[in-house]
Amino acid sequence: MTRTIDANPYPLAFARASTALLIIDMQRDFVEPGGFGAMLGNDVNQLRVAIAPLQRLLAAARAADLFILHTREGHRPDLSDAPPAKLARGGGDTGIGDRGPMGRIRIRGEPGHDIIPELYPLTGEPVIDKPGKGSFCQTDLELILKNRGIKTLIVCGVTTEVCVHTTVREANDRGFECVVPADCAASYFPEFHEVALRMIQAQGGIFGWVSDADRVIAALA
């Protein structure tokens, strides 16, 4: 059955069986007070506003039997999958692989790398571990989505202008239709969040759609 999500710049047609909810990098080190993001001086409250709408959307997606996937940005403990250019980036004293406030920074298995308890994956919801900002780069995400017959992605998480944007761009070029519920994504920089969402929907939806949790939930019901 074809449904529509009320979205900008125009309604997005979708079917529940071919739609997935993709939640990007809701990891403790980005989102929690006392994590690495906060240590760098970022205001994590700018990201935490997305948690409650995302909890509502996640519950609705589970109730609608949508395919749900989660991503985490991070690396192997030996850093063999971390590009030297990424390791050098930032210029600070503490970076990827170093000891941070919640274990080694961006390392799989460390507390700060894990997904926040409010949005923790259930058994059967794939978790994609990605070494980059985009969720398709050097992961099996595309294979998993194609195997499930997924055509439409509801993309949420943090941060809007970095990992959410990169993922939506990658997905669009691979033929997926992406909608970002504005209140289910967030940035440390509110102006970047706003402009990132405007960029997606400009020019007739140049690489996607923008909606919000309430409108997506209504469409799933």
Binding stretches for ligand TIU (CB under 6 A) = 25, 73, 133, 158-159, 162-163
Residue 36 per-residue DSSP state: H
**Closer residue to ligand TIU (CB): 104 or 215:** 104
Tokens 């080190």, residue located: 29
Known catalytic residue at 163: yes
Rounded Cα–Cα distance for residues 183 and 175 (Å): 25
**Closer residue to ligand TIU (CB): 68 or 163:** 163
Q: How far is the CB of 24 from ligand TIU (least distance, A)?
A: 6
Catalytic residue among 156, 163, 178, 184: 163
Q: Which residues lie across from 104 on neighbouring strands?
A: 99
3-state secondary structure 105-141: CCECCCHHHCECHHHCCCCCCCEEEECCCCCCCCCCH
**Closer residue to ligand TIU (CB): 71 or 201:** 71
Catalytic residue among 29, 114, 130, 133: 130
Known catalytic residue at 65: no
**Closer residue to ligand TIU (CB): 25 or 32:** 25
Residue 163 per-residue DSSP state: I
Q: How far is the CB of 119 from ligand TIU (least distance, A)?
A: 14
- Report CA torsion sign: 145, 151, 157, 161: positive
**Closer residue to ligand TIU (CB): 104 or 133:** 133
Known catalytic residue at 25: yes
Q: How far is the CB of 32 from ligand TIU (least distance, A)?
A: 14
The two three-digit tokens of residue 161, written as one number: 């202008």
Q: How far is the CB of 59 from ligand TIU (least distance, A)?
A: 23
Rounded Cα–Cα distance for residues 155 and 27 (Å): 16
- Burial category of 88 from C-beta neighbours within 10 Å (exposed 0-12, middle 13-18, buried 19 and up): exposed
The kind and range of the H/E element at 181 are strand 177-181
Active site residues: 25, 130, 163
